[in-house]
Structure 1
Amino acid sequence: MPKAGRYREGVPCWVVLTTSDAARAQRFYGALFDWEFVPTGPAETVATRYGAQVAGIGPPVDTARPAAWTTHLACADLHRTAALVRAADGRIVREPYEVPEQGRAALAVDPLGAAFGLWQAGTIDGAGLVDEPGALAWNEHLSPDPDTARAFYRRVFGYTYDRPKAGHTLARAAGHPACSIGPSAAGTDPADLTSLTDPTATATATATATGARWLAQFGTADTDRAADRLRALGGTVLTGPEPTPYGRAALVRDDADAVFVLVAVPSHESAEAA
């Protein structure tokens, strides 16, 4: 993912946990990732690490929906991008709105049913810390029909794609890696899996039960230790931890059933020492 600074069009730049119990979420993620929290509105909070913004917490549009992480994609012109979403057979489920002193946002659903956010930067581009323990490391889209997903995001954001590998494709924005798009494995229960070959494989299993989705991956210095901490906090490890080409990874669920991936990344100190 790009470091802090202006995010390219279509690049995942922010993630928001929608939940009806923000206090519970703060207790869980504060203990898991050492996040601190800054209220930004009556029901909204920004999570920070080392003083940098890493994620948001807010109420769901539909209070009956379970807790979930929502990936937000950067755009330069929110109204134009919303029009492109509609023209490509997607839907806007929350019209563009102002986030005071930060930017503008909207919520959308693609033709496969995967929810995602749109973010037009104001004073805030998006996450100020990425690719480090306790911060967003990667995002991927999984569905039963990745060809339709690739066509949709190409029309909306101009994605180009590398040659598929085992059905999964690296999507690029202006030539730079943005996210991955791949298939969900029909008929697989993630609770039945005992191993994984990469973070995408774990996510694939979870997408089965819920349909198309975006899945956020958060960095950790030690995936096994983070998974143990998550269990102690009331979360569930669905698959892993297992070694992968991208770092040791585990598919997990928090104590309110929001699913995400823990993936090992080098710590800032380790990177400097290297």
Structure 2
Amino acid sequence: MVSSDFRPGSPNWIGLGSADLAESELFYGSLFGWELGPPGPNGYGLFRSAGRTVAGVGPLTEAEPLPAWTVHFAAADAARVAAAAERSGGAVRVGPTEVPGQGRFVQLTDPTGGRFAVWEAGGTAGLEVVGERGALCRAELHTSDLPGALRFYRGLFGWRSRDSDVPGVEYAVLRPADGEEEFGGLTGVHPRVDVGWLVHFAVADALLATDEVRRLGGSVLVPPEQVPTVGRIAVLADPFGAQFALLEPEPRRP
């Protein structure tokens, strides 16, 4: 589960590239109860849940021309991570870019085609709510080269990993270099899921939430399925095609 301590290499922000901010607010507001604050001069705004920041959202750009969610990982020095990514076969799409008074980001692509970003905290350490219902709870990379992707990200962030407990499943469970909280994983390509990082939002009932996505004009890519030791997961797309997942977590054992 994503943790709010935002250790280096852990997810600390998510942003949506939207073709229509008003329609995105209507969809995610109806699904999760989010509200969109007034966008800034560059069109970038914040989704809030009960007054706390749960995600960022902005218009499509030349660097991000298609609707999609982007996972950001915490780093002490975004420029250093960008240079290391390029040395390891990755590419820099944007940045490093200063957000005055808040921090610095860089948008990257790993050698397998997965898009992600890095956030170097300034005034803003990261999201104000994670790991709760209607908020980011997990990040998962779908990749055609799991060993290669794991080498790349270990080199950038020092992640530790372990193999999945599910027999026959190619999956590496991830945790930060200096933390014990497992925040997600790496897995192989699914025929209906884009290559890249998939954000997961926690819900109380994945079946009911999936029906709501369909009612709101979204698409069901992978119906809710029970994943051992994790919970019930569904993969969906919003009305503009941005993919995300819903996770109904298994109850924690005492």
**How much has 1:244 moved relative to structure 2?**
2.6
Distance 2:64 2:159 in 1: 33
> What value does the CA root-mean-square deviation take over the aligned residues?
2.1
Q: Distance in 2 between matches of 1:234 and 1:103?
A: 35
Answer yes or no: is 1:259 the counterpart of 2:239. no
Q: Secondary structure of the equivalent of 2:163?
A: coil
User: Which residue does the alignment assign to 1:11?
Assistant: 10
Shift in Å, 1:253: 0.8
Q: Does 2:219 correspond to 1:219?
A: no
Question: How far did residue 82 of structure 1 move?
Answer: 1.1
Other structure's SS at 1:129 match: coil
Q: Which residue identity lines up with residue 29 of structure 2 in the other structure?
A: G
> Which deviations, in whole Å up to 9, do the C-alpha atoms of 1:103-152 show, x marking residues without a partner?
11110011111110110111211121112111001001111111110010
Aligned to 1:167: 170
In the TM superposition, residue 59 of structure 1 has moved relative to its aligned partner by 2.1
Match status 1:46 vs 2:46: yes
Equivalence for 2:234: 250
Question: What is the alpha-carbon distance in structure 2 between the residues aligned to residue 36 and residue 253 of structure 1?
Answer: 19
Query: Aligned partners of 1:149, 1:99: CA distance in 2, in Å?
Result: 29
**In the alignment, is residue 121 of structure 1 matched against residue 121 of structure 2?**
yes
Superposition pairs for residues 1-274 of structure 1, below 5 Å? 1-5=1-5, 7-42=6-41, 43-62=43-62, 65-164=65-164, 166-173=169-176, 174-176=178-180, 177-185=182-190, 188=191, 190=192, 206-207=193-194, 212-245=195-228, 246-265=230-249
- SS for the counterpart of 2:9 is coil
Q: CA deviation at 1:249?
A: 1.8
When the two structures are aligned, how many residues end up with a matched partner?
246
Q: Distance in 1 between matches of 2:64 and 2:99?
A: 24
Over 3 Å counting, the alpha-carbon distance change for 1:32 and 1:164 in structure 2 is closer
Structure-2 change in CA distance of 1:102 and 1:265 (3 Å): farther
Contact 2:16 2:69 in 1 (8 A): yes
Alpha-carbon separation, structure 1, partners of 2:183 and 2:84: 19
Deviation at 1:16, TM superposition (A): 0.5
The amino acid across from 2:142 in the alignment is L
Consecutive unaligned residues in structure 2, runs of 5 or more: none
Shift of 1:164: 5.0
Query: Shift of the alpha carbon at 1:45?
Result: 0.8
Runs of 4+ in 1 over 6 A off after TM superposition: none
User: Equivalents in 2 of 1:264, 1:216: separation in Å?
Assistant: 14
Q: How many angstroms does 1:20 deviate by?
A: 2.6
Whichever structure has more helix as a proportion of its residues is 1
